[in-house]
Amino acid sequence: MAKHTITLIPGDGIGPEIVAATVRVVEATGVDIEWETQIIGAQALEKFGTTIPESTIESIKRNKVALKGPLTTPVGKGFTSVNVGLRKALDLYANVRPIKALPNVPCRYPELDLVIVRENTESLYAGLEHVVVPGVVESLKIITEKASTRIARYAFEYARKHNRKKVTAMHKANIMKLSDGLFLQCFHDVAKDYPEIEADDKIIDNACMQLVMRPEQFEVMVLENLYGDIVSDLCAGLIGGLGLAPGANIGELGAVFEAVHGSAPDIAGQGIANPTAIMMSAFMMLRHIEEFAAADAAEKAMMDVYADGDVRTRDLGGSSSTADFASAIVEKLKP
Ligand code: NAI
């Protein structure tokens, strides 16, 4: 029997291509995993008549860990985000997104190493919208003391565990005095329990400018859901693009590992997507299941491929395919 059973959601768009490449690399480490493949999103709607089948939720609850490709959400119409639905259904409240430059990859900040902790369950991102009267739409921003305290505590615990010295909350409490004000208050209340860690806060618009000009001043950043979403893509841009930013959605019921980027319909089906972000999410997953040696070996193999510089995907100026990139890493993992 396999030592670990993990739910595998290939997703759509570039999802199946990058997930297949990632499974090859994970398996090349020799780690003993049985994958339980599940569908969700548009494919599930067609097969089961629902975008989030109970069987998928049950699989993640049972296994406690999932690796997930991106899922497409129709813009301005159609079904609501399955990504958001999944995070809510499993109460995956902390979205952790390390932003670290890779060796030999041209980018604006080659030394950058920071972490985004995004609240994953509420704020404006919850999609609570309705038409008040024709021509007037209301979108609700929910901020609770419980969720704000929980995410602040997660950020400080993360900082303590990973030996980071500073946590910065980003907010708009000057304008949204009650909602962002509550988020900020909870942040500073929690900070009192972590006297060895500097607690800083910045208004989100200034924070974005600071991130572009002097990102090295940040270590761990904690943000509400929508701000965290936007700032994640901004930060991915600082280290070379969306193909490079991994992530994890963590909660008490389980953990779902996925890249920051979406399903990239513009390049889907061509075998040219960069699988780095989801591979690095998988390495985070290996550490989560305490397969540290496998994670270290796979990460080192990937860093060596980057350091060699011969094999890289088109988004980074190369001509290698998704599969070529995976093969180069698998080759490095051979004894
Ligand atoms: P996107 O992240 O899919 O793509 C933005 C740009 O980055 C595109 O030009 C794309 O080709 C490029 N890109 C993204 N990932 C790449 C990779 N691995 N390698 C090379 N290039 C890459 O964002 P977009 O276009 O706004 O969204 C497309 C769909 O993805 C939407 O339906 C959106 O809702 C969904 N989405 C899903 C997410 C998830 O499943 N967690 C997260 C973000 C968006």
Q: Residue 14 pLDDT more than 90?
A: yes
Catalytic residue from among 93, 109, 125, 158:
125
Best mutation site among 263, 267, 270 for ligand 1 pocket (most ligand atoms within 8 Å of CB): 263
Q: How many angstroms separate the CA atoms of 187 and 178, rounded? A: 14
In terms of CATH architecture, what is 1-100+241-335? 3-Layer(aba) Sandwich (3.40)
Mind listing the pLDDT tens digit for each residue in 244-286?
999 999 999 999 999 999 999 999 999 999 999 999 999 999 9
Q: Cα 329 to chain center, whole Å? A: 22
Tokens of 231: 């700032």
Does the annotation mark 125 as catalytic?
yes
Q: Residue 196 pLDDT more than 80?
A: yes
Q: Which residue has the CA at smallest separation from atom 1 of ligand 1?
A: 262
Tokens 């090859």 belong to: 24
- Give the Å distance between the CA of 271 and the centre of ligand 1: 15
Q: State the average pLDDT over residues 122-135.
A: 91
What confidence tier does 1 reach under pLDDT thresholds 50, 70, 90?
low
Pocket of ligand 1 (CB under 6 A): 14, 70-73, 83, 242-243, 258, 261-267, 273-274, 277, 315
Q: How many angstroms separate the CA atoms of 278 and 212, rounded? A: 24
Question: Which element (helix H / strand E) includes 68?
Answer: strand 65-68
Mind listing the pLDDT tens digit for each residue in 163-193?
999 999 999 999 999 999 999 999 999 999 9
Where in the chain are the domains? Answer: 1-100+241-335, 108-238
Q: What is the rounded average pLDDT for all residues in the chain?
A: 96
Q: How many angstroms separate the CA atoms of 326 and 298, rounded? A: 11
Q: How many angstroms separate the CA atoms of 182 and 224, rounded? A: 11
Q: State the average pLDDT over residues 79-96.
A: 92
Question: Which element (helix H / strand E) includes 33?
Answer: strand 33-37
Coil/strand/helix, residue 298: helix
DSSP state of 14: T
Return the higher-pLDDT residue of 136 and 83. Answer: 136
Q: How many angstroms separate the CA atoms of 158 and 84, rounded? A: 23
Q: What are phi and psi of 116, to 5 degrees?
A: -100, 130
Q: Which residue has the CA at smallest separation from atom 12 of ligand 1?
A: 264
Does the annotation mark 229 as catalytic?
yes
Query: CB of 99 within 8 A of CB of 239?
Result: yes
Give, in degrees to the nearest 5, the angle at Cα 146 between 167 and 84. Answer: 85
Which has the closest alpha carbon to 322: 274, 281, 267, 265?
274
Residue 260 pLDDT? 94
Q: How far is CA 55 from CA 39, 64, 69, 83, in A?
A: 9, 14, 17, 16
Which has the closest alpha carbon to 102: 91, 93, 112, 92?
112
Q: How many angstroms separate the CA atoms of 322 and 39, rounded? A: 22
Best mutation site among 242, 256, 274, 276 for ligand 1 pocket (most ligand atoms within 8 Å of CB): 242
CATH classification (class only), 108-238: alpha beta
Longest CA span, the chain: 67
**Beta pairing partners, 4:** 33
Q: Which residue has the CA at smallest separation from atom 10 of ligand 1?
A: 264
Does the annotation mark 205 as catalytic?
yes
The CA-based dihedral angle spanning residues 245, 250, 256, 259, taken in that order and rounded to the nearest 10 degrees: -10
Same topology, domains 1-100+241-335 and 108-238? Answer is: yes
Residue 26 pLDDT? 98
- For the entire predicted model, the pTM comes to 0.96
- Give the Å distance between the CA of 333 and the centre of ligand 1: 29
Sheet (strand 166-171) strand order: 33-37, 4-9, 65-68, 255-257, 248-250, 94-100, 113-119, 220-223, 166-171, 198-203
Query: CB of 11 within 8 A of CB of 39?
Result: no
Q: How many angstroms separate the CA atoms of 23 and 98, rounded? A: 21
